[in-house]
Amino acid sequence: MTHPNLFERIGVSREEARARIRACFDTIFSDPEENFFRPVDADSACMVDTGNIDARTEGMSYGMMMAVQMDRQDIFDRLWTFSMRYMHHEEGVYAGYFAWSTDLSGKHNAEGPAPDGEEYFAMALFLADARWGSGEGWKDYAFWARDILRHTLHQAELVPGGQPMWDPENHLIKFVPEAESSDPSYHLPHFYARFAELADEADRPFWRAAAEASRMYIARSAHPVTGLTPEYAAYDGSPLLRFRKPWAFYSDAYRVAMNIGLDCLWNGRTQALCDVATRVQDFFAGKTEEEYRAYALDGTAFEEPAMHPVAITATCAAASIASDSPSADGWLRRFWALPMRKGKRRYYDNCLYFFSLLMLAGEYREDF
């Protein structure tokens, strides 16, 4: 279904919003200078993290989601082919999972998976099945979506020595399969609500419980005043400082506001999450992209500049779908006036820019 165009609140028509979406998509996939879509084989391609010059399951699954939303099966299949040919593990403790990072030829930089890639792969594949139908082999989209989700929950039963991506008791997604902790930005209750309809029938109650558990988790991991959430957190929602970073709110965490917006768009309001969206918008209101920093959850700023300032503005705007802040329409205006990022770090910013634009325009669909 098509959702309301929130940009109409600032005088932007659906036709204008759709034109901006098409231009953004073309920039990401075909602009001679600013694209980050790279052909690899005659039938495969990858999305390049331009800041790290690698292909990641995050970006591959993001690219597939963009392609299915824009009805580009040709792009979707090239990305999925690369993912299966070069990233998918056929044996070992990670069998059924995807290596989270490869170089641009497909050689593994790491063997372990990142669960946010698997959940985006599964959702994109279900949508591909709904939009184009499933074929054979790697093009049996629905089969592979269910296979991915089966492994994320039952890896310990399916593979000797394997670990699942979700905790079977608390229904929370893990940071990595071996960790007994999470990442608030990995929590996608809007996807889990669809998995509860489309995954293996025996697992559907788990996904229904996971959707509710994730909404509760996001709310309790957020600061009660600023609404900021940590990049990494314990199961009780308390922040974990990893990779020698002294700050809690940084790049991964920007996605939480966007995820709240999409859950509200697809499934309706959850007031506790709407409160988080409101607080985040209020916290950043009045700050410019040049002023954004790394933050403690209470809003204490570090000297470290935000690595992805365009992503902060984009995701704050996406929060307008759920927010009760008086600044919500101001965020729409600010985002509409904001150009896509150029240069080395454009990959992450422009992925979140595209998704935020898509949902605010009412064009991010959960079925076809």
CA neighbours closer than 13 Å in the CB half-sphere of residue 39: 5
Phi then psi for residue 38, to 5 deg, are: -125, 120
Give me the catalytic one of 58, 77, 118, 183: 58
Residue 367 annotated to the active site: no
Q: Are 142 and 134 in contact (CB under 8 A)?
A: yes
Rounded to whole angstroms, the maximal C-alpha distance in the chain is: 57
Q: What CA–CA distance (Å, rounded) separates 111 from 48?
A: 18
Q: What CA–CA distance (Å, rounded) separates 57 from 98?
A: 7
**How many residues in total does the chain contain?**
368
Give me the catalytic one of 183, 231, 252, 366: 252
Q: Are 175 and 162 in contact (CB under 8 A)?
A: no
Q: Bridge-partner residues for 106, per DSSP?
A: none
Q: Are 339 and 330 in contact (CB under 8 A)?
A: no
Residue 71 annotated to the active site: no
DSSP 51-118: TTTBEEHHHHHHHHHHHHHTT-HHHHHHHHHHIIIIIB--SSTTTTSB-SEE-TTS-BS--S--HHHH
Nearest to 176 by CA among 163, 159, 187: 163
DSSP E strand stretches across the chain: 37-41, 44-47, 55-56, 101-102, 293-295, 301-305
For helices 141-158 and 189-198, give the axis angle rounded to 10 degrees.
Answer: 100
Q: What share of the chain is helix, strand, coil (3-state, %, to 5)?
A: 55, 10, 40
**Hey, CA dihedral for 72, 75, 76, 77, is it positive or negative?**
positive
> What letters, b where the CB count within 10 A reaches 16 and e where it falls short, cover 295-329?
bbbeeebeeeebbbbbbbbbbbbbbbbbbebebbe
Active site residues: 58, 252
